[in-house]
Chain A
């Protein structure tokens, strides 16, 4: 009966009820869609990163410019390392016939590259040769095939291998890169024979990656901060964290609209409390306690909030689709379970807003003295 009464009271001023509901609906759509957008951004970043692997990257410490041969020797003494890959890296203009583009240039030993990237066509260069292997994107950009000669820093390199597409990575950006032998690298770039740019370390057992990291730091950073060791999996988790903050920020902004909706519920309920003052008096006269009146008005707010939030939740699929298509040009992450969670979150917030907006008017109605309420015209 309370429920029935609440429904009828909401229907009494249908236009007003609908307008109050629209506020909640918009709020829920805004929160859910922004949550979905943030979540889709996160999913698409982690997808495009692909397998970032569990590697350690060793960079020169603050104030240092290179990783020296001596440091590499020290690193090799650390237990649990499967591959230690010292790398030279730079970037230059790469030219082929009429095409030119900027490319990462890596100096890497021919034995080490297969550990990082797969060759799709052709083969690896030999030690000391002036051949090169290039990434798939670069091959496409320069329209070069195996056997073609590309020019870097006024030196010609014959392309003898093309890598399989690898996606973004923290260790090397292989897709638009040129890989050449260490000797060739130090020859074309001046002053690079002092040391490597950085080193990639692959560990034997992924579970021991933290121990290896600690050992490295202990061995090399005993006196000074010689090197800076980074684990790729921690980069991934900080990207996760950042995208969570982005989601929260977006949702925070959109929750302002829900706040406004809450205020409009408050307004509508307060208005209807005032209008129904006499009714409240009658109900109290015939035996309604404060709790009964409170229950009646809260139920109205709950119904309004729930109905509006559910509608908002359903429309959020549309809202989420629109905004992801608009910003990311695709909506493939819309139905991911983690996106659904944001719709549920939006609905829960919407219901909470409705009830919160109803608390004060309900309390005010409950506090009315029956005599004053009855006298009210």
Chain B
């Protein structure tokens, strides 16, 4: 791992404000949020739509930068970085899991897992070996490795997506409604998988409005109107 800073919180938000301009009006998506997440935490972020939870996820995921305040990922202050530097931080620290799975349709399951490793320049054979290993860890049968996403069930696709998130072994897994498109049983097995990964030391942050998911977490954060209204251990 890049080991920029192995001490202190892995995610730290200090007085973060995010203001969107919608025509003439301003929308305060986040209004002075302080948050720190420690290594190995399992955190859920909850709140109704418009509460600012997606904005927070985007900031932690290095997809966006705050209007005010600082966001530090693994010790690095994002506000000072340009687009390419953000990409690098993202590549080394964050594994994304989306509600829509977001696999690349032209690539097979194993190729989808390989993709982040291509961008970080891992040689082909090593890449393939690791991708197969990640698929195994995500509990996808090896026989599906050469299938395209449209030949897989929703649960299988999400497993591929989780394996992809594990590529480059990031310290943080960031999941946006990971069970939102899955039936209850499959959803549960996906959550079990995330919590198992958490047991092995990966920090897991899940955005959801499903209270059942909150049960997996050791920290629950509730957002309302851009502010943290509740943070329970």
Query: Distance in Å from the Cβ of A288 to the closest Cβ of chain B?
Result: 5
Query: Distance in Å from the Cβ of A294 to the closest Cβ of chain B?
Result: 12
Which one of B63, B111, B168 contacts A370 once the chains associate, using CB atoms below 8 Å? B63
Cα distance A292–B168 in the bound complex, in angstroms: 17
User: Once the chains bind, are B106 and A289 in contact (CB under 8 Å)?
Assistant: no
Task: Please give, as numbers and ranges, the residues of chain A lying within 8 Å of B168 by CB-CB distance.
Answer: 287
User: Once the chains bind, are A287 and B64 in contact (CB under 8 Å)?
Assistant: no
User: In the complex, what residue of chain A is closest to B55 when comparing beta carbons?
Assistant: A371
Query: Distance in Å from the Cβ of A10 to the closest Cβ of chain B?
Result: 10
Beta-carbon contacts under 8 Å, A282-324 to B: 282-292
User: Once the chains bind, are A287 and B106 in contact (CB under 8 Å)?
Assistant: no
User: Once the chains bind, are A371 and B119 in contact (CB under 8 Å)?
Assistant: no
User: Once the chains bind, are A283 and B115 in contact (CB under 8 Å)?
Assistant: yes
State the interface size on chain A (CB cutoff 8 A): 23
Question: Known contacts A278-B102, A371-B58; is A288 also within 8 Å of B63 by CB?
Answer: no
Cα distance A369–B90 in the bound complex, in angstroms: 13
Give the size category of B's interface with A.
Answer: 20 to 34
B 161-189 binary contact with A (CB < 8 Å = 1; else 0): 00011011000000000000000000000
Say yes or no for A326: interface residue by CB 8 A criterion: no
Say yes or no for A81: interface residue by CB 8 A criterion: no
Binding-face segment, B34-42, B81-89, B138-146: B81-89
Say yes or no for B120: interface residue by CB 8 A criterion: yes
Say yes or no for A165: interface residue by CB 8 A criterion: no
User: Once the chains bind, are A287 and B63 in contact (CB under 8 Å)?
Assistant: no
Task: Please give, as numbers and ranges, the residues of chain B lying within 8 Å of A289 by CB-CB distance.
Answer: 84, 87-88, 119
User: Once the chains bind, are B96 and A285 in contact (CB under 8 Å)?
Assistant: yes
User: Once the chains bind, are B91 and A374 in contact (CB under 8 Å)?
Assistant: no
A 1-25 binary contact with B (CB < 8 Å = 1; else 0): 1100100110010000000000000
Cα distance A284–B119 in the bound complex, in angstroms: 10
Cα distance A286–B164 in the bound complex, in angstroms: 8
User: In the complex, what residue of chain B is closest to A367 when comparing beta carbons?
Assistant: B83
Cα distance A343–B177 in the bound complex, in angstroms: 57
User: Once the chains bind, are A1 and B124 in contact (CB under 8 Å)?
Assistant: yes
Task: Please give, as numbers and ranges, the residues of chain B lying within 8 Å of A2 by CB-CB distance.
Answer: 118
Cα distance A369–B83 in the bound complex, in angstroms: 9
Say yes or no for B61: interface residue by CB 8 A criterion: yes
User: Once the chains bind, are B91 and A287 in contact (CB under 8 Å)?
Assistant: yes
Say yes or no for B222: interface residue by CB 8 A criterion: no
User: Once the chains bind, are A287 and B83 in contact (CB under 8 Å)?
Assistant: no
User: Once the chains bind, are B64 and A284 in contact (CB under 8 Å)?
Assistant: no
Cα distance A224–B168 in the bound complex, in angstroms: 89
B residues in contact (CB < 8 Å) with A: 58, 61, 63-64, 83-84, 87-88, 90-91, 96, 98, 102-107, 111, 114-116, 118-120, 124, 164-165, 167-168
A-B contact pairs, 26 of them (CB 8 A): A1-B111, A2-B118, A12-B106, A279-B104, A282-B103, A285-B61, A286-B115, A286-B116, A286-B119, A286-B164, A286-B165, A287-B87, A287-B88, A287-B91, A287-B116, A287-B168, A288-B87, A289-B84, A289-B87, A289-B119, A290-B83, A290-B87, A291-B84, A369-B83, A374-B63, A374-B98
